[in-house]
Amino acid sequence: MVDSWWVITTIAAVYLAALACIYRILLTYRTAQGAIAWIIGLLGLPYLTVPLFLLIGRNRFGGYVKARRMGDESLTSLLDYFEQQTTSITEATDSHFTDELQVLCSLGRQPFTEGNQCQLLRDGNDTFDALFEAMENARRYILLEFYLVRSDKVGQRIKTILERKLADGVEVWFLYDDIGSVSLPKNYLKELSKAGAHVASFGDGNVRRRRFQINFRNHRKLLVCDGTVGFVGGINLGDEYLGTVMDQEPWRDTHCRIKGPAVTGLQLAWLEDWNWASDEVPTLGWDPHEATPGNDKVLILPTGPADDWETCTLFFLNCINNARHRLWISSPYFVPDVQIMHALQLAALRGVDVRIMIPEKADSRIIGLAAYSYLSQASQTGIRIYRYQPGFMHQKVVLVDDRYAAVGTANLDNRSMRLNFEISMVTTARHFVDEVTTMLQDDLDNCRQMTEQDYKERSILFRLTCRAVRLLGPLF
């Protein structure tokens, strides 16, 4: 009798938990397909699905907005002040373009700023040389935030510079993602802390607020020195970007350096993340106007699962829907949802030159297979998909006509759209747009164009596998 009571109680508790999860889903779901899949699983296999939902099922990053808007009065004031600033983004001959750019400002809750100087960094060697130089020249503080940090030659060089700058009195704040940097030795972090650096993990901090949110990642990669020079792009801190890892082909990636007031936007994005991870708001410099040698207009666009809207999805849709004659996107992961794919098709149908560049050799077999399943839809409407041949292409770049370009961390997949904290820089600077155009053309010269036949001529088992894997897209 006692055993039966425990069995009944356990079953009731599991189904009550399942109902609570369903209640949460109905209040917060962002895609009907994902909601239906979870609900079916919770009703049919609650013992398995309830713990799985608690681990990876949430689509909002709880507590972050409250932390950034209510956790500290000084942080709130800084965010509000910068958000309310405006700059001239009016194009005298194109009012539509002004509206298009204003949408991006609203998404990122940051303004376009003038008086910047942007430099495109086309590979790991150029990027690390620039990062090392900026850190060596820092006089007050260094802010780092990277998804993946390794303790290899690059990682050790970074650590050596930081320890030397700490000894010179420069303050260092080091933020990393605990999942992306899971292989980073604890001694690396302990030695940095011992040298005086402030070290925090985006996942380990604020455990009470962080619980049941392990499916989210801080995928941002940025560096700020003294509030006057900043870096953002796709490059993490590892030797793979230099092509020096034995038995591994080099990673092709892109970063950029920014000098001027737009660095304030990078610094604010870092500050929000640091405040979340540590409940601290460091005293930093907020007047970068000493170093404004250029005239580039730049927007810093942070996106993530703490936003009220799907800001990353809306960013891509804004770019796709407003492209007029050219839309080139480079992304290592191409698993678009229905709305993104339909927007790409419509762009191609209205005559836009739509090109998607992905790697030939993906670092994820599953994602590589899923990309094949889009070939028919793409080919039928004129979308051209290219596979980059030499090494692994990891860059995240968007080129819209000859009007603006974006370099950052966001991919064309569900994880970037809904689960990752991402960040990009967007600029209308003609010299930068031209450099991106040249860079992408050089990359396309190292690609092979895929066709519908690459999919249709494969075995039925291969095609079924690709279609089945595509169903898992919302979980990637």
Q: Which of 7-21, 49-63, 211-225 has the lowest mean pLDDT?
A: 49-63
pTM: predicted TM-score of the whole model, two decimal places: 0.86
Provide the CATH number for the domain formed by 64-102+116-296 in this structure: 3.30.870.10
Beta strands 251-252 and 255-259 are unpaired
Which is catalytic among the residues 123, 178, 226, 413? 226
Structure confidence at residue 157 (pLDDT): 96
From the CA atom positions of the chain, what is the Rg in Å? Answer: 23
Q: Is the pLDDT at 212 greater than 50, yes or no?
A: no
Instruction: Note every long-range contact of 189-197, with CB atoms under 8 Å and residues 24 or more positions apart, other chains counting.
Output: 191/159, 191/163, 192/159, 192/162, 192/163, 195/162, 195/163, 195/166, 195/167, 196/166, 196/171, 196/172, 197/162, 197/166, 197/172, 197/173
Number of alpha carbons in the 13 Å side-chain half-sphere of residue 69: 10
pLDDT tens, 120-170? Answer: 999 999 999 999 999 999 999 999 999 999 999 999 999 999 999 999 999
Largest CA distance in the chain: 82
Structure confidence at residue 60 (pLDDT): 61
Report the candidate in 128, 127, 134, 86 with the shortest Cα–Cα distance to residue 109. 86
DSSP 8-state code for residue 428? -
Q: Which residues pair with 6 in a beta bridge?
A: none
* Confidence grade of residue 76 (pLDDT, cut at 50, 70, 90): low
Measure the CA–CA gap between 90 and 67, rounded to whole angstroms: 34
Measure the CA–CA gap between 461 and 178, rounded to whole angstroms: 37
Q: What average pLDDT does the structure give for the chain?
A: 84
Measure the CA–CA gap between 121 and 137, rounded to whole angstroms: 19
DSSP per-residue string spanning 83-123: HH-------TT-HHHHHHHHHHHHHHT---EEEEEEEEE-S
- Could you confirm whether 221 is annotated as catalytic? yes
Mean pLDDT over 95-117 rounds to 85
DSSP per-residue string spanning 200-249: EETTTSSHHHHTT-TT-EE---EEEETTTEEEEES--BSGGGGT-STT-P
- Could you confirm whether 342 is annotated as catalytic? no
Structure confidence at residue 454 (pLDDT): 78
Measure the CA–CA gap between 406 and 426, rounded to whole angstroms: 4
pLDDT tens, 291-330? Answer: 466 889 999 999 998 888 899 999 999 999 999 999 999 9
pLDDT tens, 460-476? Answer: 887 877 777 777 665 55
* Confidence grade of residue 262 (pLDDT, cut at 50, 70, 90): very high
The dihedral sign for the CA sequence 137, 168, 230, 334: positive
Backbone angles phi, psi at 388, to 5 degrees: -70, 130
Measure the N-to-C terminal CA separation of the chain; round to a whole number of Å. 46
- Could you confirm whether 396 is annotated as catalytic? yes
Tell me the fold of 311-475: Endonuclease; Chain A (3.30.870)
Q: Is the pLDDT at 206 greater than 70, yes or no?
A: no
- Could you confirm whether 394 is annotated as catalytic? yes
Backbone angles phi, psi at 183, to 5 degrees: -90, 0
Q: Is the pLDDT at 210 greater than 90, yes or no?
A: no
Percent of the chain with pLDDT over 70: 83
Which is catalytic among the residues 123, 159, 165, 219? 219
Which is catalytic among the residues 221, 255, 259, 297? 221
- Equal fold, 64-102+116-296 vs 311-475: yes
Q: Is the pLDDT at 368 greater than 60, yes or no?
A: yes
Mean pLDDT over 89-109 rounds to 74
Q: Which residues pair with 353 in a beta bridge?
A: 326
Q: Is the pLDDT at 28 greater than 60, yes or no?
A: yes
Of residues 472 and 423, more confidently modeled:
423
Structure confidence at residue 171 (pLDDT): 95
Cβ atoms of residues 340 and 412 within 8 Å: yes
Structure confidence at residue 326 (pLDDT): 97
Structure confidence at residue 425 (pLDDT): 97
Cβ atoms of residues 146 and 176 within 8 Å: yes
Mean pLDDT over 211-217 rounds to 64
Q: Is the pLDDT at 67 greater than 50, yes or no?
A: no
Tokens in use for 144? 């780092």
Measure the CA–CA gap between 239 and 404, rounded to whole angstroms: 31
Structure confidence at residue 71 (pLDDT): 46
User: 341 to each of 153, 376, 378, 382, 412, how far by Cα in Å?
Assistant: 40, 12, 8, 12, 10
Any idea which residue has 């001529």 for tokens?
457
Report the candidate in 144, 79, 141 with the shortest Cα–Cα distance to residue 111. 79
Structure confidence at residue 14 (pLDDT): 76
Cβ atoms of residues 273 and 303 within 8 Å: no
Of residues 409 and 375, more confidently modeled:
409
* Confidence grade of residue 400 (pLDDT, cut at 50, 70, 90): very high
DSSP per-residue string spanning 281-317: -------GGGS----EEEEEEEE-TTSSS-HHHHHHH
* Confidence grade of residue 238 (pLDDT, cut at 50, 70, 90): very high
Q: Is the pLDDT at 378 greater than 80, yes or no?
A: yes
* Confidence grade of residue 70 (pLDDT, cut at 50, 70, 90): very low
CB atoms within 10 A of CB 349: 13
Percent of the chain with pLDDT over 90: 50
Structure confidence at residue 211 (pLDDT): 47
User: 167 to each of 128, 155, 192, 350, how far by Cα in Å?
Assistant: 22, 18, 11, 59
Structure confidence at residue 54 (pLDDT): 72
Structure confidence at residue 156 (pLDDT): 96
Domain ranges of the chain: 2-56, 64-102+116-296, 311-475
Structure confidence at residue 52 (pLDDT): 74
Of residues 357 and 40, more confidently modeled:
357
Cβ atoms of residues 291 and 259 within 8 Å: yes
Of residues 388 and 414, more confidently modeled:
388
Which is catalytic among the residues 123, 296, 401, 443? 401
Tokens in use for 137? 């020249």
